Amino acid sequence: MADIALVTDSTADIPLEIREKYGISMVSLKVLFGNESYLDNIELSPAQFYEKQRSFAGLPTTSQPSPAEFYEHFKRLTDEGKTVISIHLSSALSGTYQSATIAKSMLDDENADVTVIDSRSASYGYGMLVVKAAEMASRGAGKDEIVAEVERLRRELRLFFLVDTLEFLQKGGRIGKASAVLGTLLNIKPILSIDDEGYVTPIEKVRGLKKAMGRIAELIETDLGRASLDVIVALTPGRDEGAKEMAALLKERLNVRSLLFTEIGPVIGTHAGPGTIGLFVTPAT
């Protein structure tokens, strides 16, 4: 059976210790503060990013990796005889998937086996798919089995984001300025998700963080009932109170089998802002 290697990009927000445990290769996007450029989750940790974001007068920007950066990883791994599964940020949100696809086409070796997957998700919403794939590869699962399981999990995943402020969505062009101002005045907390095509989409607008959290719990309970659930809560370093409150609420109201925390990285944080809470839920298997 072929030795399988996993490649992803930095917006999967997979902690370093997990990447090292499973040998997951990561290609970084870049975060730019004016003329200063940093490799996401390599030269700039989540904690460092949010500290820098607070003191930066403007809005940080981001840029995707080039095909050449993916080619370097694909070439090295396939030259070692490995089958590559490469899973990336939604193509509706970034050109990262396209860069990986171009890199695959650049390989000269006809025997190079590279599968590039558009997660149609973001942050640990697909980071968990990468980790699951890596776990299966470590147990000797084949490519087809792993890809099928990734597709199944992607269909079953429930994903929600709560943003602390609408300011960053407005600055990034996701909503109009009038909506952002009105939302701030009325303490509106939009419940966001990612649709089947990989686009950020609003689910509901709720007044107040606690009510928004309660509404998310209701949505999950209505959809999944009392099924046993695996839950990952993504938090902003230094602004983790809301995420911990969300986790406690879910444990109280739902049948949570496992609960893990992870951090929202610099690139996702650039567009969502500090204080964002990410919630990723799958039925336990």
Q: Are residues 150 and 163 in the same domain?
A: no
pLDDT at 175 over 60: no
Same domain? 101 vs 180: no
For the stretch 176-217, pLDDT in tens is 443 444 445 457 788 889 999 998 888 888 888 899 999 999
Residues 51-110 pLDDT 10s: 999 899 888 999 999 999 999 999 999 999 999 999 999 999 999 999 999 999 999 887
Tell me the residue range of the domain where 238 lies: 158-283
pLDDT given at position 165: 66
Q: pTM here?
A: 0.90
| Shared-domain flag, residues 108 and 235 | no
> Is 256 inside any structural domain?
yes
- Whole-angstrom Cα distance, residue 49 to residue 33? 10
In a domain, 53, yes or no: no
Judge if 190 and 108 occupy the same domain.
Answer: no
114, two tokens: 């590279």
Q: Are residues 236 and 250 in the same domain?
A: yes
Q: Are strands 114-118 and 83-88 parallel, antiparallel or unpaired?
A: parallel
Instruction: Count structural domains, the chain.
Output: 2
Q: Which residue has the higher pLDDT, 206 or 33?
A: 33
Assigned domain for 273 exists: yes
The secondary element (H helix, E strand) that includes residue 143 is helix 143-156
Residue 5, beta-bridge partner list: 84
86 and 121 inside one domain = yes
Residue % of the chain over a pLDDT of 70: 91
The predicted-structure confidence for 149-161, as pLDDT tens digits, reads as follows: 999 999 999 999 9
Cα 270 from Cα 252, distance rounded (Å): 32
CA atoms within 13 A on the CB side of 190: 22
> Which of these three, 156, 177, 203, is where a domain ends?
156
The CA distances from residue 165 to 108, 137, 205, 209, 273, in Å, are 48, 40, 13, 11, 7
Identify which has the larger pLDDT, 187 or 45: 45
* Pair of tokens at residue 95: 């050109």
Task: Look at the chain and count its residues.
Answer: 285
Position 214 in a domain: yes
For residues 134 and 253, membership in a common domain is answered with no
36 touches 260 (CB < 8 A): no
Compute the distance between CA of residue 233 and CA of residue 231 in angstroms, rounded to an integer. Answer: 7
pLDDT value of position 179: 46
Co-location of 110 and 127 in the same domain: yes
Q: Which of 156, 174, 201 is the last residue of a domain?
A: 156
Q: 220-231, pLDDT tens digit by residue? A: 999 998 899 999
The model's pLDDT over 242-279, given as tens digits with 9 standing for 90+, comes to 999 999 999 999 999 999 999 999 999 988 888 899 99
